[in-house]
Structure 1
Amino acid sequence: MAVPPLSTGAMVVFALVFVALVLFVTEALPTDVTAVALLVTLYVLRDWTNLSLAETLSGFASPATITVVAMYILSEGVQRTGVVDRLGSHVAAFTGKSEKRLLGATVGLTGPTAGVINNTPVVAVFIPMISGIAERAGLSRSTFLLPLSYAAMLGGTLTLVGTSTNILASDLSRTLLDHPIGMFEFTPLGIVVFLVGAAYLMTVAPHLVPERVPAAVDLTERFEVQNYLARVGVPEGSDLVGRPIDETLAADVDGDTDVRVVQIRRGEDVVPVPSPERTVEAGDVLVLHGHADDVDSFVAAAGLRRRSRVRVDEDDLHHPDAERVLAELVLTGGSEFVGETPAEARLQEWYDTTVLAVRRGDELYRANVDDVRFEAGDVLLVQTTPDALGRLREGGDAIVSDASGGDPTEVVETAAEREASTADEETGREGLPPLSPKTPLALGIVAGVIGVAALGLLPIVVAALGGVVLMVATGCLTTSEAYDAVSWRVFFLLAGVLPLGLAMRETGGAEFLAGLLVSGAEFLPAVALLALFYLLTGLLANVITPVASVVLMIPVAVDTAQRVGAEAFSFLLAVMFASSAAFMTPIGYQTNLMVYGPGGYTFSDFLRVGAPLQLLLTAVTALGIAAIWGV
């Protein structure tokens, strides 16, 4: 078949696609900002993109965008019931110290749960739960966190609401083929894909996932900060006696050292994270944090003396009586701290939290931490309070993946949860995370939304919005909690990228790409071409967002299928399933980024474990689609 001519408008759109892909991959701008900039550019160049103002802004009014927003809120309502948290107690009782049982429970619980609740909050809850169980069993968390992310991605293929790309694909299917996808229309194939993927994660993956984080390792050892912590004594005749901490830190000779006081030991008392105004007394023992050379310079200039050559470890920084804990935090993609330094984020002022180290992929920052600008996925070693951890978790800015003194899910228990826990103890259910009194309502609302949409009584967008109204009206969520639950970054990403697919269709760009693919693969059978689209979309999703992959590839897939006389809906499904198969990089999917730091993984770990799984599912999905829907 002849390749259609490339119009000027299509060349303009392809140039915009190229620029957008570069920005998505390099993250020179946040992905949502890139999407909005793309939207603006599409309208400014409307003489070539052929988009009206209404078409340019259509992403904001898209049923897919609104449905995704509603599903975030509904997922938050379910998460606040405590049902997912309570699973941890049952999992620990079931698995004991068995690695196979814990791996099976991780995959078996995460997948189905992610099929009805947005998989990002599911993974956020499961990371500390699985990490705590693994640590108590003497197992490496690295064995379980990568399968946790993959299982959540696979679970997203079980139902229409499993992931935002499914909802987006359904909307595109309605627009292009007049065939909106039903709630459980692709569930049979989703079950097959999940079972095959789960079998791989249970049998092959354990031999490929290295134990990057040793079992039961001290947090100070995990972040290698022991050489950056030191105890020094304040002698009787020291000039520092009676002076505030900020003056003490200014007592060095050159003023260039970056040293912080993170703790004062005063007799039997422990004074954690002292304020700059707190005065130093004779006999105090200061725990300092900084590069060894800076600490030595400070000690010599201030006339202090080292009390001991014994290293400062987790036990020294964890003080239940002083309500101080050492914790590991993972910054989420939507964290308000991203792009800020610790000082700009005001962690010390608002959260009584001191950052001791930052891990970013293979990089580890332990000195001059105050100058580090946070990025999504950063793992922080902090000294803080249990209440501050609870507020950080509730605000959605960070996942508490580990904490000294026990299970992180118990350490960050809020006052309301402690009260509910006390009620549980009075009814003989001690030891279990508390359930909200609104649990039956929240679960019933979500079940009702799914049921109404599945039966075709209402479109999914209307059913989901109705569920949001009921969540707020019944008190399952407050209005502010509902707004806070939404990932507005995803909202603007969807709204900004959707018009790009429309521009590709309007300018003939999708038709041109389809012609290229058809001419280059004219001797391939239809099922092989279907597999090729799955593979191309999966590779694209590994380096840019799944949302962008779906928007770019579905129009091309549908056009290609129609040109070769194949089943267009089958090709659309192949792209939709592939968008949830970004297994090979930590940046392709949000859940991969969430486990990247806590698992101690390297970039190559994702490629080694994810590439075979991606190839396996390419064959399984293509054959499954061909068998069920035909090609």
Structure 2
Amino acid sequence: MLGVPSFHALAAMAVTVSMFVAFARGRLSVEIVSLVTIAVIAVGLYFFPLPGTEPTDGLELAFAGFGHYALITICALMIMGRGLVVTGALEPAARLLERIFKFNLQIGLLVSLVAAMVLSMGVNDTPVLVLLMPIFVALASRGAMPASKTLIPLNAAVLIGGMATTIGTSTNILVVSIAVDLGMPQMSVFHYTPIVLIAALVALPYLWLVMPRLLGDNRVEAAGVKRRFHTRLRIGEGSILNGQELASVIPNLPESITFHDQPEGPLSSQQRLHISGTHEALEDAMRVLKGEVAPAWVLDRIRRSSSQRREDITVVEMTVTGDSRLINRTLPTSGVADLYGVAVLGIHRPNRIMGEKEQYSTGGDLRIQEGDVLLVMGLNEELQEFARNDSLLTLDGAQELPRRSKALLSAAIMVGAVGTASVGLLPIAISALAGAIAMFLTGCVKFDRVGRALSAKVIVLVAASIAIGRIILESGAAEWLGTALALGLQFLPPAMVLAAIMLFVTLLTNFASNATAATVGTPIAYNIATQLGLPAEPLILAVLFGCNLCYATPIAYQTNMLIMAEGSYEFKDYIRTGVPLVILMTATLSVLLVISYGMG
């Protein structure tokens, strides 16, 4: 006979549902709802403590999330991801995927989803997503699909792949271990992999074609067309242009690069070409052509100073005012590099016709005019001195250049952290923390830039989800729900029993935690199998699968929260895309389990 849930269990369920409704309505920010939830739990347990506890124990339960290893792990992973971005370590992988996306956006996304699934079968879900997420953020900045349309499908693909083996996630290991303790035989690594692979094939079209359409575009559109800067590209000794005609090399360059003079015949080292393009396009052109748009000596000087002073190199845009001494001068005659130690990479001339003869010197260099915008590279102190002394107005949108000299180091740190966690040498929390510390000590990430890597929204959301998970478990709410479930399943066919168990565990994992769902759901499933005379293994697998169907809320799993800030997601984005996937996977997996174990 099912009894009435305790006062604390009712209150825990009420708080959980209230938080879910508040998140779904979206009238209050995630931070406010999370902090109010924590406050309600803390105050409620202080005045109405759980049986056998003191009022102060409730405070500890409510605020324990801020010191929980899961939150520390997520913050450490964010810091390591930031290290990969600021050092440019992911640029080669991003350029490779960019070629695929340029060939066809849909094919690029499909290849990425399949790769994510395969990787997460052998490596823990979190490290896989940490490796892939910055690549897709970089791809979005380079004109591929926006991060908001790719990160949730990518995360879902990682979670599905992680479900396919007993070592794919720590939750899988927990479920299998509890099952063995209950008397079940040990499952091998690929014991149920074929079932998940078939389900993945069914889900893949939804991830690939439908899910991105359900998500918005988080790209911030520029107020106008991006500025195009005119400059002179000096061909380097090792350039692919040496001995080649320009027409044969143009297809390898960004589409936004324009050549304004196309000399006849083969090109030679040190030859200068008049080109124009956006800042990003000029960077790509210099990389591909191994050329420079500023004197090599001043670029070397800037890099040496950056290394000695441990300061990032910055690129800013500066407008020439009417009082500037630069007016009617060319860059070679301005003496900017000698006077200030900064490099002018290009000149943008707004609302004027380029190519007029009177705008160029006899040497072919553009004469600077009032209103021109200069693209300037240097260190902060020198840039400020240049702007102050030469009457320039610094515009918003300064960019820090990647610290490419540390790219291999940051990649090695990330691989080391992921590798030690994936083979079980260290827990992910310890390896991630060690990796974050290594990023700091080696200068890949600077202490004063940590705020850019961390998201306050994610931090308070993780803390609130941990508090909810604990109160659901310790109040007896999870146990009561499981008992109610067992009583209602005795008249259902096997497929419906499996689906009900899977959905129950899915509900727990999306609002409490994977560990809670595994701990509560596995014994319940085993007892239901005994009571109904069904084989225990498919019901245990239903629990395992349900623990991994954590797509419908950001609090369900740490990877969901990792992508929340980068994708600019709201709670309703997870509900809109995740609920259909949960239903699809539950139906598919239930039918496959019935067929595989002959339960029809």
TM category (shorter chain) comes to 0.5 to 0.7
1:391-436 C-alpha deviation (Å, 9 max, x unpaired): xxxxxxxxxxxxxxxxxxxxxxx4456xxxxxxxxxxxxxxxxxx3
- Counterpart for residue 400 of structure 1: none
Q: In structure 1, the residue corresponding to 2:12 is in which secondary structure?
A: helix
Deviation, structure 1 residue 145: 6.6
The correspondence of residues 79-158 of structure 1 with structure 2, limited to 5 A, is 79-94=85-100, 97-99=103-105, 101-108=107-114, 115=125, 117=127, 119=129, 122-123=132-133, 125-126=135-136, 129=139, 132=142, 146=149, 149-158=152-161
Q: Distance in 2 between the 1:86 and 1:615 partners? A: 38
- How far does the alpha carbon of each residue in 1:183-234 deviate from its partner, in whole angstroms, 9 at most, with x for none? xx989878975785477545995489769999xxx969xx9x99xxxxxxxx
The match for 1:503 is: 471
Q: Give percent identity, aligned residues only.
A: 20
CA contact (8 A) 1:127 1:145 kept: no
Alpha-carbon separation, structure 2, partners of 1:128 and 1:320: 32
Residue 150 of structure 1 and its aligned partner are, at CA, apart by 0.7
Determine the C-alpha separation between the residues in 2 that align with 1:469 and 1:481.
14
Cα contact 1:88–1:130 (8 A) shared by 2: no
Q: Please, which of 58, 80, 98 is the counterpart of residue 74 of structure 1?
A: 80
Give the distance between the partners of 2:472 and 2:575, measured in 1 at CA.
32
Structure 2: distance between partners of 1:86 and 1:158: 25
Deviations 1:85-116 (A, max 9, x none): 33332234445534553343443456668845
Gaps of 5+ in 2: 183-187, 226-316, 323-369, 376-392, 531-535, 555-559
Show the counterpart of 2:525: 561
TM-score of the pair, normalised by structure 1 = 0.50
The answer on 1:522 being equivalent to 2:490 is yes
| Structure 1 counterpart of 2:35 | 36
> Would the aligned equivalents of 1:9 and 1:507 in 2 still touch at CA under 8 Å?
yes
Residue of structure 2 aligned with 1:574, choices 542, 545, 548:
545
Structure 1 Cα separation of the partners of residues 371 and 490 of structure 2: 69
1:447 is aligned, of 388, 395, 415, to 415
- Give the secondary structure class of the aligned counterpart of 1:522: coil
- Say whether residues 1:60 and 2:66 are aligned partners: yes
SS of the residue aligned with 2:373?
coil
Residues matched between the structures, number = 414
Compared with structure 1, are the counterparts of its residues 188 and 415 closer, same or farther at alpha carbon in structure 2 (3 Å cutoff)? farther
- The equivalences for 1:521-600 within 5 A come to 521-524=489-492, 528-535=496-503, 546=510, 548=512, 550=514, 557-558=521-522, 560-561=524-525, 563-564=527-528, 565=530, 570=541, 572-580=543-551, 591=563
How far apart, in 2, do the equivalents of 1:522 and 1:149 lie?
37
| Residue of 471, 478, 481 corresponding to 2:446 | 478
User: Aligned partners of 2:25, 2:216: CA distance in 1, in Å?
Assistant: 28
Whether the aligned pair in 1 keeps the contact of 2:470 and 2:512 (CA below 8 Å) is no
Q: Which residue, out of 477, 481, 485, partners 1:513?
A: 481
Q: Is the 8 A contact 1:72 1:485 kept in 2?
A: yes
Q: State the alpha-carbon separation in 2 of the partners of residues 581 and 186 from structure 1.
A: 27
* Residue among 314, 318, 322 paired with 2:373: 322
Task: Tell me if the contact between 1:527 and 1:626 (Cα under 8 Å) persists in the aligned partners.
Answer: yes
1:35 is displaced (CA, Å) by 2.9
Q: From the superposition, tell whether residues 560 and 208 of structure 1 become closer, same or farther in structure 2 (CA, over 3 Å).
A: closer
- Residue 328 of structure 2 corresponds to which residue in structure 1? none
Q: Distance in 1 between matches of 2:190 and 2:455?
A: 26
CA contact (8 A) 2:34 2:461 kept: yes
2: CA distance between counterparts of 1:18 and 1:128? 37
1:493 aligned partner: 461
How far apart are residue 79 of structure 1 and its match? 3.3
The 2-side partners of 1:119 and 1:209 are apart by 18
Q: CA RMSD in A?
A: 5.6
Contact 2:117 2:158 in 1 (8 A): yes
> After alignment, is 69-78 or 98-107 more displaced?
98-107
Measure the CA separation in 2 of the matches of 1:495 and 1:176.
30
The CA deviation string for residues 365-392 of structure 1, in whole angstroms up to 9 with x for no partner, is xxxxxxxxxxxxxxxxxxxx5xx4x3xx
Matches within 5 A, 1:331-410: 352=395, 385=397, 388=398, 390=399
Checking the alignment, whether the CA contact within 8 Å between 1:538 and 1:581 is kept in structure 2 is no
For 2:437, the equivalent position in structure 1 comes to: 469
1:613 Cα deviation (Å)?
4.3
C-alpha change, 1:624 and 1:459, in structure 2 (3 Å) is farther
CA distance change for structure 1 residues 537 and 187 in 2, over 3 Å: closer, same or farther? same
CA drift of 1:490 comes to: 2.4
1:201–1:89 distance in 2 versus 1, CA, 3 Å: same
> In the alignment, is the contact (CA less than 8 A) between 2:65 and 2:71 conserved in 1?
yes
Matches of 2:394 and 2:189, distance apart in 1: 45
Provide Cα deviations, 1:121-157, integer angstroms capped at 9, x if missing partner.
95565256258555xxxxxx59x97455312332245
Superposition pairs for residues 227-306 of structure 1, below 5 Å? none
Give, as a single letter, the amino acid of the residue that structure 2 aligns with 1:560: I
* CA apart distance, 1:492: 2.5
Q: Work out the CA distance in 2 between the residues paired with 1:615 and 1:500.
A: 24
Q: What secondary structure does 2:405 align onto?
A: coil
Letter in 1 for 2:91: D
Distance 1:111 1:582, change over 3 A: farther
After TM superposition, give the deviation of residue 578 of structure 1 in Å.
0.9
Q: How far, CA to CA, are the matches of 1:45 and 1:203 in structure 2?
A: 42
Check 1:174–1:109 CA distance in 2 against 1; reply closer, same or farther (3 A cut).
closer
Question: What is the TM-score of this pair, normalised by structure 2?
Answer: 0.52
Structure 1 residues 492 and 627, CA gap change in structure 2 (3 angstroms): farther
TM-superposition CA deviations, 1:31-59 (whole Å, max 9, x none) = 34333332332232225451624334332
Change in Cα spacing, 1:352 to 1:131, as seen in structure 2 (3 Å) is closer
After superposition, the Cα gap between the structure-2 partners of 1:472 and 1:120, relative to the gap in structure 1 and judged at 3 Å, is closer
Instruction: Tell me which structure has the larger Cα radius of gyration.
Output: 2
Cα distance change of structure 1 residues 553 and 49 upon mapping to structure 2, 3 Å threshold: farther
Alignment-derived partner of residue 304 in structure 1:
none
Q: Which runs of 5+ in 1 are unaligned?
A: 135-140, 180-184, 227-271, 279-318, 325-349, 354-384, 391-413, 418-435, 598-602
**1:108 and 1:85 mapped to 2: Cα distance?**
21
Q: Aligned equivalents of 1:105 and 1:27: distance in 2?
A: 34
Q: How much has 1:320 moved relative to structure 2? A: 11
* d(CA) in 1 for partners of 2:208, 2:548: 21
Could you tell me whether the CA contact under 8 Å between 1:72 and 1:118 is conserved in 2? no
Inter-partner Cα distance in structure 2 for 1:629 and 1:201: 24
Asked if 2 retains the 8 angstrom alpha-carbon contact of 1:24 and 1:34, the reply is yes
Residue type of the partner of 1:29? L
Change (3 A) 1:487 1:98: closer
Aligned CA distance change for structure 1 residues 152 and 97 (closer, same or farther; 3 Å)? same
What SS does the aligned partner of 1:129 have? helix
The residue matched to 1:477 in structure 2 has which SS? Answer: coil
Shift in Å, 1:515: 1.8
Counterpart CA distance in 1 for 2:508 and 2:40 is: 23
Distance 2:433 2:598 in 1: 34
Question: What amino acid does structure 1 have at the position aligned with 2:84?
Answer: V
Give the 3 Å change call, closer, same or farther, for CA 30–569 of structure 1 in structure 2. farther
Counterpart amino acid of 2:139?
Answer: M
Contact 1:558 1:571 in 2 (8 A): no
Q: Structure 1 stretch 81-90 or stretch 7-16: which is displaced more?
A: 81-90
Deviation, 1:448, is 2.8
